[in-house]
Amino acid sequence: MKKIGILTSGGDAPGMNAAIRAITKAAMHYGIEAVGIRDGFEGLMNGRFINMKYTDVDNIIQRGGTILGSARCPEFKDPEARKSAVAHVKEAGIDGLIVIGGDGSFRGANVLAKEVDIPVIGLPGTIDNDLYGTEATIGYDTALNTIVEAVDKIRDTATSHKRVFFVEVMGRDSGFLALNSAIASGAESVLIPETITDIVAIANQIKSQNKGRRSSIIIVAEGDEEGGAMDIMRKIKPHLEDFKLRTTILGHIQRGGSPSYYDRALATRSGIMAVELLMAGVTEKMVGIKADELITVDFKDAIEKKAMPKIEREELLLKLLTK
């Protein structure tokens, strides 16, 4: 192995820079050149490469976002468009590739690996934690902390004004962020895509909980079957006429900020492992974590199987918290 390409793709996630740093430093440690690819697969198709030096990755472990840039690149699904990516990889002499991103990025990486005929390894970088086979993705912990901090603030004003807040969080079609932020912020209820949402039941729950309470916080996953927080508030309003209802959509604030200890450590450990896997000729695998041990997961499984939050246990926990 002489030259490793690194790209970040899809929605950025806190900890991506820590991963870029670890990969660059590990590669150099093993006498391998590291090449940064700008803006994900878009940069791969256009040959926008930078030779990485130690100084490029100094003081980035604490920074959110990605110094390489990221993009969603639907064009990469087109085999014709991918041909230019393959040509640029060959021309640059890249003989191993590390893709940091979510399931869409791994889909691209999986087809590319076959066409370009070099080993490709993935690092799960997404706040959504929706990749099968790993207990955590890089960025998830930081996003959870951001949500909890925001909900604590909303709680202050909600309690002052005796209000019910519907707080919408990201996660696409997955409820990890919603469920676990609800537990950690002591929310009164949570709506996630993995369970059936019953508007009338939630209204009744709010009414019965609210006796003697000054506020209620309902965390709404953006992908809930009944819609986002605005839709839920509109649908529930007729059932809660005596209540003062408000909505907050946390939005992209959840993607930014300095990564937590956990995300920095996970990104650093898995970045080093990714380099070592490439050196061993391993391909089409994602580096995951289980019981604090790094593991590998086939791209195929990570892409095709659905990661599920542990609903049964967490639901009970929520019930106990909100009684």
Catalytic residues, by residue number, are: 128
Would you state the structure tokens that stand for residue 96, as one six-digit string? Answer: 């191993």
Spatial contact of 7 and 68, defined as CB atoms under 8 Å apart: yes
According to the binding rule CB under 6 A, does residue 5 interact with ligand F6P? no
Instruction: Return the residues of window 221-240 that contact ligand F6P according to CB under 6 A.
Output: 222
According to the binding rule CB under 6 A, does residue 170 interact with ligand F6P? yes
Instruction: Return the residues of window 45-104 that contact ligand F6P according to CB under 6 A.
Output: 72, 102
Can you tell me which of 39, 42, 95, 128 binds ligand F6P, judged by CB under 6 A? Answer: 128
According to the binding rule CB under 6 A, does residue 126 interact with ligand F6P? yes
According to the binding rule CB under 6 A, does residue 127 interact with ligand F6P? yes
Cβ-in-10-Å burial (0-12, 13-18, 19+) of 292 comes to: exposed
Distance (Å, whole) CA 258 – CA 263:
10
Can you tell me which of 82, 88, 255, 264 binds ligand F6P, judged by CB under 6 A? Answer: 255
According to the binding rule CB under 6 A, does residue 309 interact with ligand F6P? no
Nearest alpha-carbon partner for 124 in 19, 3, 254: 19
Task: Sheet with 244-249: list strands edge to edge.
Answer: 189-191, 216-221, 163-169, 244-249
Q: Residue 127 or residue 144: which is nearer to ligand F6P going by CB? A: 127
Q: Residue 23 or residue 170: which is nearer to ligand F6P going by CB? A: 170
Residues near 31 by beta carbon (within 8 Å), at least 6 away in sequence:
none
Binding span for ligand F6P by CB under 6 A among 32-40, 153-161, 169-177, 191-199: 169-177
In the complex, what is the shortest distance from the CB of residue 11 to ligand F6P, in angstroms, rounded to a whole number?
3
In the complex, what is the shortest distance from the CB of residue 244 to ligand F6P, in angstroms, rounded to a whole number?
29
Q: Residue 18 or residue 178: which is nearer to ligand F6P going by CB? A: 178
Q: Count residues contacting ligand F6P (CB under 6 A)?
A: 11
β-pairing, 96-101 vs 49-51, is unpaired
155 annotated to bind ligand: yes
**Cα 270 → chain centroid:** 15
Can you tell me which of 163, 172, 239, 246 binds ligand F6P, judged by CB under 6 A? Answer: 172
| SS3 state of residue 214 | coil
Degrees (nearest 5) of the Cα angle 211, 216, 221?
145
Long-range contacts of 115-119, Cβ-Cβ distance < 8 Å, separation of 24 or more: 115/79, 115/82, 115/83, 115/86, 116/85, 116/86, 116/89, 116/90, 118/89, 118/94, 118/283, 119/277, 119/278, 119/281, 119/282, 119/283, 119/284
In the complex, what is the shortest distance from the CB of residue 225 to ligand F6P, in angstroms, rounded to a whole number?
15
- Residues forming contacts to ligand F6P in the complex (CB under 6 A) are 11, 72, 102, 126-128, 170-172, 222, 255
Binding site listing for ATP: 11, 72-73, 102-105
Binding site listing for ADP: 21-25, 155, 186-188, 211
